[in-house]
Structure 1
Amino acid sequence: MKTSRIALVTGANQGLGRALVEGLAARMNSDDLVLLTGRSRQRVTDAAQEVAELPGTRARVEGRVLDVTDTDAIGRLAEELRSRHGGVDVVISNAVARVLPQESQAARADEFIDVSNTATHAILRSFGPLLRPGGRLLVVASSLGTLGHLDPRLHHLFDGASLEDVEKAVESWRSAIHHGTAQDAGWPVWLNVPSKVAQVAAVRALAAERRDGDLATGTLIAAVCPGMVDTATSRPWFSDCSQAQSPARAAEAVLDLILTEHVDPALYGELVRFGKALDWHEGAPLLEQDRLLTP
């Protein structure tokens, strides 16, 4: 059976990822395919079946087991989509490691970096070449992903960096955490800040290589900030979630970005929040007491 479009969402068992799968399945066509991915086979199977059975679902929905910390598995899935379908049309890198406020940030650093950064790099490298004309490759980040949230001593590591430079900077940060020298070098205690900056820098790096060709074909590569979302990952960090969006509401702006036909050049390669690009250099380093996973 011919498939018109292929969409892939990581970290899609629940929360925003699940909402993005539901939205894609409802707004794409009956001969399109949406792949819901996650680490647990049972949860992936159950979630894919539940989405497929929703009244508003139009596209086909299938589950794929994918542990994004396994970069070889990312490569194998990319090769499967290349060989079976010739490419991919929508890729949303959404997986995140859950860290609780009472946990040691340093003790959770490896898992957090592997899920948020190493996996992002692998997805950009593996799926970027498979993106068909008019495709969308989005990395879910946050407003903390602007460079100004880092100590100025660290800006040179990410500003104008290549993807290889970003990868080296992330590993340097990881090493500094393990050696107890991270704070002296200017790295914040809270993992989410450098992690998000590095995600956005990686997107900017790939986009810089592809900009002219992608804009000529209506293809978009960008990072996205969905705003504050009420999920199991974010809820422990906020004393008041009354202003948080439901995952379904937060997914709407991301889905609009994906499914609009026209690509605004001002959004290409940028961190996009509610349809507008955030200034890469904006923000200020957080004080130690500002320990929240700001949207």
Structure 2
Amino acid sequence: MQPDDLVLLTGRDHQRVTVAAQEVGLLPGTRARVEGRVLDVTDTDAVVGLADDLSTRYGGADVVISNAVARLLPEESQAERADEFIDVSNTATHTILRAFGPVLRPGGRLLVVASSLGTLGHLDPRLHHLFDGASLDQVEYAVESWRGAIHHRTAQEAGWPVWLNVPSKVAQVAAVRAVAAERRAHDLAASTLIASVCPGMVDTATSRPWFSDYSQAQTPAQAAEAVLDLVFTEHVDPALYGELVRFGKALDWHDGTPPGEQDTMVTP
């Protein structure tokens, strides 16, 4: 990166964002200008405003990484936390795809951090038609139908799992696939990549309450390497475009099995 390049780190807490930007800016080898911005991804106007601002001031964005998550603890009610979880993981993802897709410059990268649970097979077969080959509008409709079923206590009857992370991740990946399907030919010609990414098991405050064995877990820095490999690769592999990518390989969209009722599902 060059001294006139700009890296924006965003988050909801001003102090944490400011400290993070300062720490990254002081890392050995950092040449770009690093700034922190307060941004709540559930604030649609704020996300759209940031995309518009980057388009106006800089002609667009070269790299966009969507990595927001709502922290959920095992003892908490999944249904009671559903709105916050869906707003952060899904509604915000839809907004980011709509806002930043049009301002992504040729050769750019738009990556949504998801999970290996994001393959279609992890859902009950009755729900597959909602996401398989769906447009972004259709994915959004499916997500809101799921939200409504949770509120009306009909979700399990319709086939939705108790664990929010499963349909949430499938919907994230489906949303990325929907946007990528419309842009594929143009983006590949320009070496532009849109994809979802599974970083693997990562030892964080969000995931730690759900696991007892962390012997195979990565640090956040280690997990970032596979994501950055996609950012900095010179040529886009067509086999990865629009797919859920884990450690450099695309996962089969139709793979997976629905979780049992007692399974805990925050698997990365």
- Mark yes or no: TM-score above 0.5: yes
1:226 maps to which of 196, 199, 212: 199
Look up the match of 2:252: 279
Identity of aligned residues (%): 83
Q: Distance in 2 between matches of 1:44 and 1:247?
A: 16
Is 1:96 matched up with 2:45?
no
Q: Distance in 1 between matches of 2:214 and 2:30?
A: 29
Contact 2:166 2:265 in 1 (8 A): no
Q: Distance in 2 between matches of 1:291 and 1:233?
A: 14
Look up the match of 2:94: 121
Is 1:257 matched up with 2:230?
yes
1:136 maps to which of 102, 109, 118: 109
Counterpart residue type for residue 183 of structure 2:
R
Q: Distance in 2 between matches of 1:247 and 1:64?
A: 21
Q: Distance in 2 between matches of 1:29 and 1:201?
A: 35
Q: Distance in 1 between matches of 2:219 and 2:260?
A: 28
Counterpart residue type for residue 48 of structure 1:
A
Look up the match of 1:196: 169
1:174 maps to which of 143, 147, 153: 147
- Give the match's secondary structure for 2:201: coil
Is 1:184 matched up with 2:157?
yes
Contact 2:132 2:174 in 1 (8 A): yes
Write out the 4+ residue segments of structure 1 that deviate beyond 3 Å after TM superposition. Answer: none
Look up the match of 1:15: none
Q: Distance in 1 between matches of 2:66 and 2:264?
A: 24
Q: CA deviation at 1:242?
A: 1.6
Look up the match of 2:40: 67
What stretches of structure 1 of length at least 5 have no aligned partner?
A: 1-27
- Give the match's secondary structure for 1:218: coil
Is 1:49 matched up with 2:11?
no
What stretches of structure 2 of length at least 5 have no aligned partner?
A: none
Q: Distance in 2 between matches of 1:206 and 1:140?
A: 15
Q: Distance in 1 between matches of 2:5 and 2:37?
A: 16
Q: CA deviation at 1:50?
A: 1.6
Is 1:292 matched up with 2:268?
no
Q: Distance in 2 between matches of 1:51 and 1:265?
A: 32
Look up the match of 2:185: 212
Deviates most, 205-214 or 50-59? 50-59
- Give the match's secondary structure for 2:54: helix
Q: CA deviation at 1:106?
A: 0.4
Q: CA deviation at 1:267?
A: 0.3
Q: Distance in 1 between matches of 2:19 and 2:186?
A: 39
Look up the match of 2:78: 105
Is 1:78 matched up with 2:51?
yes
RMSD (Å) for aligned C-alpha atoms: 0.7
Q: CA deviation at 1:192?
A: 0.2
Is 1:245 matched up with 2:218?
yes
- TM-score scaled by length of structure 2: 0.99
Q: Distance in 1 between matches of 2:109 and 2:250?
A: 16
Q: Distance in 1 between matches of 2:236 and 2:256?
A: 26
Q: CA deviation at 1:39?
A: 0.4
Q: Distance in 2 between matches of 1:106 and 1:57?
A: 43
